[in-house]
Amino acid sequence: MLVKLDDRLAAVAGLVLPGQAAADIGTDHNYLPAFLRQRGVCPRVIASDKADGPYRNAVALTRRLGLEQTLEVRRGQGLEVLNPGEAATIIIAGMGGRLTIEILAAAPAVLAQTRRLVLQPQRDLPQLRRWLAEHGWRIVAERMAYDHGWYYTALAAEPGEAVLTPQEAEFGPCLLKERPQLWLNYLRFRLVKTQRLLEQLAAFGGSGERVLALRREQAELTALLGQDK
């Protein structure tokens, strides 16, 4: 059986450094590590999860696919399961941005010997982008995906100097330059949401900081989208 990935995880897989070992932290179902091994993207993959159920499922899938030699499943918290230098790429996908930051911040020795981080947070992306820039990581690629009715962003970061403007932290330094169609769709989706919120607040006579922030967001989204006309 060949593992297939949904569009969200396919975007993550596309950012992994080929030909080098990778680690997927918080793997859950273990589909991504299995995919990376079956397609020969990485010669060796470590899959980890802190929870017993996902760990057992990951072990079971590895065995079912006959990947035990090159896909090792470990149980534990965050990057504690890794020795420095064991994985060129560290993947953390499908968690909150703040938890992703906590996991990264707790393991400076592992990060010091990591060549690429591939991250796909479910929320708090601006905070994560800022944390990366403040801790010596430069975002080198960003990919959008649309899956099960929701937009996702995956990013790759490598050691390096980076200064992010507030707009780059919010919308993505690479996405702002490349302006892919899915990102434009995502901006339109955000603009519609912002406009609806403003209408609801206006109906209740809303004013103040919240309304001002939403108007600023509306203006920024409109300007970003306007560049495409």
What residues make contact with ligand SAM under the rule CB under 6 A?
9, 25-28, 48-51, 54, 77-78, 93-95, 99, 103
Rounded CA-CA distance 159/137 in Å is: 5
Rounded CA-CA distance 38/52 in Å is: 24
Please say which residue, 122 or 218, places its beta carbon nearer to ligand SAM. 122
Please say which residue, 99 or 214, places its beta carbon nearer to ligand SAM. 99
Beta carbon of residue 204, minimum distance to ligand SAM (angstroms, whole number): 35
Beta carbon of residue 26, minimum distance to ligand SAM (angstroms, whole number): 3
Please say which residue, 33 or 173, places its beta carbon nearer to ligand SAM. 33
Rounded CA-CA distance 59/71 in Å is: 9
Burial class (CB in 10 A: 0-12, 13-18, 19+), 11: buried
Beta carbon of residue 216, minimum distance to ligand SAM (angstroms, whole number): 32
Beta carbon of residue 54, minimum distance to ligand SAM (angstroms, whole number): 4
Tally DSSP H helices, then E strands, for the chain: 10, 7
Please say which residue, 80 or 195, places its beta carbon nearer to ligand SAM. 80
Beta carbon of residue 47, minimum distance to ligand SAM (angstroms, whole number): 9
Cα dihedral sign for 39, 42, 46, 50? negative
Tokens (6 digits) for 212: 């001002």
Please say which residue, 56 or 215, places its beta carbon nearer to ligand SAM. 56
CA 148 to chain centroid: 16
Residue 67's alpha-carbon distances to 1, 124, 141, 228, in angstroms, are 12, 34, 29, 46
